[in-house]
Amino acid sequence: MATSRRRFIRQISGAAAGTWALASLPAESRARTISAGMDPVRPDDEQFWAMVRDQFPLSHDRVYFNNGTVGPSPYAVAEAVKRTLDTLDASGEYGGWEDARPKLAKFVNVDEAEISLTHNVTEGINVVAGGLPLKRGDEVILTTHEHVGNALPWLNRMRLDGIVIKTLSPAATADENLNRISDLITPRTRVIAIPHVTCTIGQVFPVKQIARLGHDKGLWVFFDGAHGPGMTMLDLKDIDCDFYATCCHKWMCGPKGTGFLYVKKEMLDVVQARWVGGYSDTGWDVTVNPPEFKGYVPTAHRYDFATQNAAIYVGVAAAVDFLTHIGMENIVRRGNALAAQLQKGLLGLGDGVEMLTPTEERSRGMVVGFRLKKIAYDKFGEHAAKKGFRIRLVGESHLNSIRVSTHLYNNPREVDAFIAAVREVA
Ligand SMILES: Cc1ncc(COP(=O)(O)O)c(C=O)c1O
């Protein structure tokens, strides 16, 4: 009764509004459930997207264009985390992080037995890179545009076990990237381990075709999916890779320090669990002689273990709900439209701009990377910061370039203002 009095559903009327609705939580909460309804929300439905923006505590005195590094959480997520911390500290109870696993599994269309809860992308990459049975001379394919998180775990195996790393530099089209990967495959190749979307220029690789190519050649296929969930319509069953490591703290706008790793069921006994503990096993006993370890649980749960921070995983479940209510199709259309507006605007500035992100539609998403001929990237960074833009400068791969990420809380006016700021110096 009290709850129903404090709750309400407000139907927004107006020219642009479709069937979407706004539901409030209790009065003291700033969190709103924004339900897009059955009809698609237009990417230019500014009334709807302004309502989404209002759900983020982001300050209004600057423009946040750095979701590629970390995504701010909406109130619903932050409040879920705080509430759980309070509840657990009041009750002294243990547990509560498990609900995130089925939510995440459904979000990316796999079985919950294939999901391991991690704390960032790099952790998941280490599980796979460290657990695959690779021998001296075995070859692994990376790109020249790796984030340190997908470079070091494989380079570490090169150092420790003598595997060989082969690299491709990303091309502007999906077909050419497939050719480049294909050309690198030799009888010694064991793994393709490249990003779904690069951290440098936001290049989207044709992951489904790459997985097929890899499997046709008998390889294991791993994707560094830091920029997958929340930025793309991620369907891991459809992509059909063997492993996919990602986080919830970028495009999913979940709590910081949360992530997950997908390991295809058939691969569970292939990726050796190097770190194990509570919940990894089906039984153990050190009171018998010899001591006994029965085996691993038949799920990817074997790779995560022991006590977790329940509050942040409750926050992950809230983030999945937040995105799902808005609708991933709607979010992808909005974010991509903003990035396309930005790319077009920058290209329109002429020769002074060197566009690094592919213009091919299937090879780009919500990130735009570029360089300016007349001004060094770090100087531009200072200029942009003075104008109130939070962007990312890319030193990786010696690119010395500029990266802008657009997400569900950005809008076309911010993009236009950024293009104007570039025009001033380009
Ligand atoms: C492509 C890519 N891989 C891996 C990482 C590492 O992510 P995390 O810090 O969550 O491990 C990042 C972070 O920006 C990234 O962009």
Tell whether 63 is covered by a domain. Answer: no
What percent of the chain stands above pLDDT 70? 94
Tell whether 20 is covered by a domain. Answer: no
Structural domain that includes position 194: 100-322
- Looking at the structure, do residues 279 and 374 belong to the same domain, yes or no? no
- Looking at the structure, do residues 342 and 295 belong to the same domain, yes or no? no
Contacts for 229 with CB less than 8 Å, ≥ 6 apart? 107, 108, 246, 248, 251, 252
Tell whether 27 is covered by a domain. Answer: no
pLDDT tens, residue by residue, 412-423: 999 999 999 999
* CATH code (residue 360): 3.90.1150.10
**Beta bridge pairs of residue 243:** 222, 263
Tell whether 25 is covered by a domain. Answer: no
CA 146 to ligand 1: nearest atom: 1
Q: To test the ligand 1 pocket, which listed residue (117, 144, 147) has its Cβ within 8 A of the most ligand atoms? A: 147
Decide whether any atom of ligand 1 lies within 6 Å of the 403 Cβ: no
Q: To test the ligand 1 pocket, which listed residue (122, 125, 205, 396) has its Cβ within 8 A of the most ligand atoms? A: 122
- Looking at the structure, do residues 336 and 317 belong to the same domain, yes or no? no
Q: Which of 322, 340, 374 is the last residue of a domain?
A: 322
- Looking at the structure, do residues 285 and 421 belong to the same domain, yes or no? no
- Looking at the structure, do residues 355 and 300 belong to the same domain, yes or no? no
Decide whether any atom of ligand 1 lies within 6 Å of the 118 Cβ: no
pLDDT tens, residue by residue, 330-388: 999 999 999 999 999 999 999 999 999 999 999 999 999 999 999 999 999 999 999 99
Closest by Cα among 72, 75, 77, 74 to 62: 72
Place 20 in a pLDDT band, splitting at 50, 70 and 90: low
- Looking at the structure, do residues 205 and 152 belong to the same domain, yes or no? yes
Tell whether 55 is covered by a domain. Answer: no
Q: What is the CA(119)–ligand 1 centre distance, in A?
A: 11
Q: What is the CA(150)–ligand 1 centre distance, in A?
A: 8
| Whether the model pTM is above 0.75 | yes
pLDDT tens, residue by residue, 194-210: 999 999 999 999 999 99
Asked whether 357 and 367 are in contact (CB, 8 A), the reply is yes
Place 38 in a pLDDT band, splitting at 50, 70 and 90: confident
91 vs 423: CA distance, rounded Å: 57
- Looking at the structure, do residues 260 and 378 belong to the same domain, yes or no? no
Decide whether any atom of ligand 1 lies within 6 Å of the 315 Cβ: no
pLDDT at 217: 98
Closest by Cα among 219, 158, 230, 217 to 194: 219
- Looking at the structure, do residues 131 and 265 belong to the same domain, yes or no? yes
Decide whether any atom of ligand 1 lies within 6 Å of the 67 Cβ: no
Q: Which of 264, 288, 322 is the last residue of a domain?
A: 322
Q: To test the ligand 1 pocket, which listed residue (67, 117, 121, 393) has its Cβ within 8 A of the most ligand atoms? A: 121
* CATH code (residue 211): 3.40.640.10
Nearest CA, atom 5, ligand 1: 149
- Looking at the structure, do residues 206 and 150 belong to the same domain, yes or no? yes
Q: Is the pLDDT of residue 9 over 50?
A: no
Tell whether 43 is covered by a domain. Answer: no
Q: Which of 322, 354, 381 is the last residue of a domain?
A: 322
Asked whether 351 and 421 are in contact (CB, 8 A), the reply is no
58 vs 409: CA distance, rounded Å: 9
pLDDT at 6: 29
Tell whether 24 is covered by a domain. Answer: no
pLDDT tens, residue by residue, 213-252: 999 999 999 999 999 999 999 999 999 999 999 999 999 9
Q: Is the pLDDT of residue 105 over 80?
A: yes
pLDDT tens, residue by residue, 236-246: 999 999 999 99
- What count of Cα atoms within 13 Å lies in the side-chain half-sphere of residue 324? 11
Q: Is the pLDDT of residue 405 over 80?
A: yes
What domain count does the chain have?
2
- Looking at the structure, do residues 135 and 104 belong to the same domain, yes or no? yes
Q: Measuring CA to CA, how many Å separate 158 from each of 149, 215, 221, 298?
A: 15, 23, 18, 30
Tell whether 77 is covered by a domain. Answer: no
- Looking at the structure, do residues 190 and 285 belong to the same domain, yes or no? yes
Decide whether any atom of ligand 1 lies within 6 Å of the 299 Cβ: no
- Looking at the structure, do residues 147 and 289 belong to the same domain, yes or no? yes
